[in-house]
Structure 1
Amino acid sequence: MNMEFWLPVRLSISVSFIAAIIVFVSGTALGRVFAVRAFKGKVLAETLLMLPLVLPPSVIGFLLIVTFGVNSLPGKMIETLFGGTLIFTPWAAVLASAVVAFPLMFQSAKAGFLGVDRELEGAAQVDGASKRQVFMSISIPLASRALAAGALLSFTRALGEFGATLMFAGNLPGRTQTIPTAIYVAIESGNMQLAFYYVIISMAIALVLLGLVQYFNRQHH
């Protein structure tokens, strides 16, 4: 196997890792907010945050193009700041993967924080700890297994993202071609052996990650 074979694998892992970091931070923060606070419109807001989980990938890809395309305000701002468009770049693949993976991290984080003993947090605040100290030293450690499971699920989901990535980031070999798009191209060109190799690699990574998720879920319960 030459270096070109490994390019989609390396890109997929890199894209998924960056996307997982983004959704870990955002999903943990929002999961905490939705676990402990009641506010008007909460049900609607949570429904909107969970939409990427059920929307067709083509719809997500379309919405990303409309939102970050060259004719949109965010698209024009990105072009002004960075001298180019976001579409058909590795960062477009990161954004598409982060969007589809976010609901998994959000739900895991919310479930983890719902399981934290509020009396324990309250006692720490009575003893003089700030909200930030309580969050970092009590809430995060107690929800850590759920957060770890969410991060692994998010990485796995990002690794398997195809439709939105193909529409928004394209399929440029060595630049935006991930494992799923490489499999698609290999099958389209009749190279079933190449597709089989990528499928095996993808399944192996997914099995390891899902095994770790099961481990953290068992520890959590």
Structure 2
Amino acid sequence: MGGWLGPEEWQAVALSLRVAFWATLLSLPFGILAAHALARWTFPGKQVLNGLIHLPLVLPPVVTGYLLLLAFGTRGALGGFLADLGIVFAFRWTGAALAAAVMAFPLMVRAIRLSIEAVDPRLEQASATLGASPVWVFLTVTLPMALPGIVAGAILAFAKAMGEFGATITFVSNIPGETRTIPSAIYAFLQVPGGEASATKLVIVSVVVAMGALLLSEIIGRRVAERVGGR
């Protein structure tokens, strides 16, 4: 791929992989916790939490990016505080990872939640009656049996993070080598004469990654489900 893609194109692919990896890895624990809360807990404001988690799916991505800029920009409430600690998101690749994580989070949570809801509550109750704490029940019963959904959710979130554009370009702009991911690079190439060839190559990469993620999610999910069922 390194010979087929030029330096700018390869730089965008490498940055997208980096952004998607960290976006998925760092949001996964929160995705599991949110999915478990929605699937198993009863508490005031549960529907509000569910709405907030899925809000990025229905909001225009530009709006999500602008809200991130207001919150995590250097002049924002959280952004200013974090900047004093040396943590800056706006116009950095870390901000691209944050935007990608926010946009991919609903897909991750939904897949994991459906998997947790499919776990028979009687198995969890049986473990609890033997003296296991709620945390231990979750770690030894719920989590292993929900593993197919967790794997599928992580892979889908990774693919979504790879393709995120609207929120990313609004929050961190389109800086070559810093925030120019595959979608931003495609947009940039299409704005200049003769850039169609480079844009087409990156479109092909995007399609391959997206299809590969969907197929991998299905294959891994089935294999993990078979192993869990075999136990």
Range class of TM-score, shorter chain: over 0.9
Question: What is residue 188 of structure 2 aligned with on the other side?
Answer: 185
* 2:36 partner amino acid: R
Question: What is residue 144 of structure 1 aligned with on the other side?
Answer: 147
1:5 has 2:13 as partner: no
* 1:169 partner amino acid: V
Deviation, structure 1 residue 133: 1.9
Deviation, structure 1 residue 185: 0.5
**Alpha-carbon distance in 1 for matches of 2:182, 2:120:** 42
The C-alpha deviation readout for 1:33-82, integer Å capped at 9, x for no partner, is 11111112211221111100111011001101111122222121112110
Question: What is residue 164 of structure 1 aligned with on the other side?
Answer: 167
Q: 2:158 aligns with which of 155, 170, 173?
A: 155
**Alpha-carbon distance in 1 for matches of 2:88, 2:53:** 26
TM-score by length of 1: 0.94
Structure 1: gaps (5+ residues): none
Q: 2:18 aligns with which of 7, 14, 21?
A: 14
1:74 has 2:113 as partner: no
* 2:115 partner amino acid: G
Deviation, structure 1 residue 216: 4.9
**Alpha-carbon distance in 2 for matches of 1:204, 1:152:** 14
8 A contact 1:166–1:181 mirrored in 2: yes
Deviation, structure 1 residue 3: 3.4
* 2:190 partner amino acid: I
Question: What is residue 105 of structure 2 aligned with on the other side?
Answer: 102
8 A contact 1:8–1:178 mirrored in 2: yes
**Alpha-carbon distance in 1 for matches of 2:222, 2:6:** 40
**Alpha-carbon distance in 2 for matches of 1:45, 1:5:** 39
Q: 1:34 aligns with which of 20, 23, 38?
A: 38
**Alpha-carbon distance in 1 for matches of 2:30, 2:55:** 16
* 1:20 partner amino acid: T
8 A contact 2:173–2:179 mirrored in 1: yes
**For the aligned residues, what is the CA RMSD?**
1.7
**Alpha-carbon distance in 2 for matches of 1:117, 1:85:** 43
Q: What's the secondary structure of 2:154's corresponding residue?
A: helix
Deviation, structure 1 residue 2: 4.0
The C-alpha deviation readout for 1:96-119, integer Å capped at 9, x for no partner, is 000000001111111111111111
1:204 has 2:208 as partner: yes
Structure 2: gaps (5+ residues): 227-231
Q: 1:171 to 1:141 in 2, by over 3 A?
A: same
1:90 has 2:93 as partner: yes
* 1:102 partner amino acid: F
8 A contact 1:23–1:154 mirrored in 2: no
Q: 1:131 aligns with which of 134, 144, 169?
A: 134
Aligned length: 220
**Alpha-carbon distance in 2 for matches of 1:10, 1:114:** 36
